[in-house]
Structure 1
Amino acid sequence: MDSKVMLQEEEPANRLYIQSFAKGLAVILAFGPGRREMNLPELAAETGMSKSAVQRFAFTLETLGYLRKNPETKRYALTPKVIELGYRYLLIDPVLERASPYLLELNRKCGENINISEPDGTDMVYVGRFPGFHYMPVYMPIGRRLPMFCTSAGRAYLAALSQDEAADIIDRSSLEKFTPTTVTDRQELLDLVEKARQQGYATANGEYYQGDLGIGIVIRGHNSEPVAVINMSAPSSRWSLQRMEEELAPQLLEVSRLISSAAPEPRKAAPFKRGIEEVRAHR
């Protein structure tokens, strides 16, 4: 996905839309790999704003503590305070709070990576991760976005939608071939989604990271709507996909059922609520 942030030439035709607020967010989102520091002309080019406009937004964000300016180079960079914006979501996400005790227990039982992700557009965004006991060469930080079409988490979510909804997301996806095993044929992808719909879980065989095997199962909220996906990933050096399906898929299915139907025990949930209580106490 192209990380370059450009403002739309035509803003939404609604008087409630605050253009200046959108521009301020665009300045923050302009930073990324290869753009860790930028001067005003570079920020202006990246956001599509004038230099004078971007200067005002950069000054405001610097004053608020979200940007810092190097006094010698005049280049801006993000500060750790930006993390607080996303961290707030993690603190109050009810699905993550409910699922975490179960996922930690499953992680301790199987020893492999257990993740929870939520849908956004054509991607799944990782909001929780419990690393396995073994070395894994895959770096998967919280907030990482992965395409739905080629990941077990994404296919599990697509399988929980109607056929038309799943097809629409696939049609809007950039079907890039990330590894030799990435499936990019539209009909084959729809068949894989249908297979996941029938068996209750989805799989992916090293289609985004080579050698990374995955099984994904949806979590349902009120009215049985899909709200998130839990997935287990393991390397092909230790597992085969068939063995994962036989030994690990049943465990993941049971955890998904528990998350969707039963609140965790208070003593197991308590550690995951401490952050929320701390935020409330400091308001």
Structure 2
Amino acid sequence: MSEPQTEDPQHETQVQQHMQQHMQLHKEDRHFVTALARGLDVLASFRSFETRLGNAELAQRCGLPKSTVSRLTHTLTELGYLRLDPEQAKYQLGSSALALAPAAQHGVDVLAVVRPFMQELADLSQGVTSLIVRDRAQMLIFENCQSESYLTLRVAVGTRISGLTSAAGRAYLQALPGAEQRQALAAFRQQEGMDGASAQAIAQRSRAEVERQGCTTSFGEWLPDINSIAAAFRPGPALPPMTLSCSGPTAIVPAALLLETVRPRLLESIRGIEAALRAQDR
């Protein structure tokens, strides 16, 4: 599924809520630099290099006073991360932001490798296969592939989902080393208002699933009547773990289909992706 070309009001509301929740989580952290976080949130509001946004729109998306946003956009413009279109009084990402693109290019290269595997899995499951990455205290859908017959669960690219109730978030956690896993688990737990014991129980169950069957599951836990399985892979030293998730409505994609038919091919795909990425880096 390709990203919509027009702005999605529901998506923008989710972005605003996400930013406000993120600030609330760190309010008591004396090492957290709020001004820096706000500046990064302004940059994160631009979904592409073609996007143009004014201070009022940015203030709404970031949940900040317009006066604060005006100072942030002025600073980011002076540093070259934004550039102002004086006729429209709107900003675009600037050359300094563009200079960061080579670091993100590896992610584009990964997508080129992963997409054929995703489409095969989507066709096999008759559902949707998603490439999902972590975004702070949630998981973010980076790309979707769906079968031609698939008509439901239209979750757009850029949508943020639960790190604890989704199979993708659980798979991501299990791909992290100990200290990073504890940090991510705490962030996910705080985001969702879950107590520590419940979060630990999910992590332990997910670990057992990976050891037993190579993937994590979420059957009706992320969304009612939606089944999903997921497995993580390591795209290389420059990027954190990513996850592949195969999902669909219970009526179309029952748990048995995912575990018995899709799961073996998902694990083969993960091995194939990692091998292709290693060969690419040589």
Q: Which TM bucket (shorter chain)?
A: 0.5 to 0.7
Match of 2:217 among 163, 182, 203: 203
Question: 1:88 & 1:146 partners in 2: Cα distance?
Answer: 27
Please state how far the C-alpha of 1:233 moved relative to its aligned partner: 0.4
Match of 2:162 in 1: 147
Matches of 2:248 and 2:256, distance apart in 1: 12
Aligned equivalent of 1:2? 18
- Counterpart of 1:128 in 2: which secondary structure? strand
The residue that corresponds to 1:72 in the other structure is none
Q: Which residue of 2 aligns with 1:233?
A: 247
After superposition, give the CA deviation of every residue in 1:226-248 in whole Å (9 maximum; x if it has no partner). 62111100111223213320111
Partner AA of 1:172 in structure 2: A
Matched position secondary structure for 1:106: helix
CA distance in 2, matches of 1:226, 1:57: 30
Aligned to 2:175: 160
| Counterpart position of 1:176 | 192
Structure 2 SS opposite 1:262? helix
Q: Whose RCO is larger (CA < 8 A, sep 6+)?
A: 2
Fraction of identical pairs, as percent? 20
Q: 2-side partners of 1:243 and 1:258: how far apart?
A: 22
What residue is the counterpart of 2:4 in the other structure? none
Q: In structure 2, what is the equivalent of residue 253 of structure 1? A: 267
Q: 1:123 aligns with which of 138, 151, 159?
A: 138
Q: Specify every segment of 5 or more residues in structure 2 that has no aligned partner in the other structure, as ranges.
A: 1-16, 48-52
Shift of 1:134: 3.4
TM-score (structure 1 length as normaliser): 0.64
Structure 1 window deviating more from structure 2 (98-107 vs 159-168): it is: 159-168
Larger Rg: 1
Amino acid aligned to 1:108 = D
Deviation at 1:98, TM superposition (A): 1.7
TM-score by length of 2: 0.64
Q: What are the Cα deviations for residues 13-64 of structure 1, in whole angstroms up to 9, with x where unaligned?
A: 9xxx9x7x976554455699xxx98749956971585486368479996734
8 Å contact 2:138–2:191 — kept in the other structure?
A: no
**Aligned twin of 2:84:** 63
CA gap of 1:152–1:221, structure 2 versus 1, over 3 A, is same
Q: Which residue of 2 aligns with 1:215?
A: 229
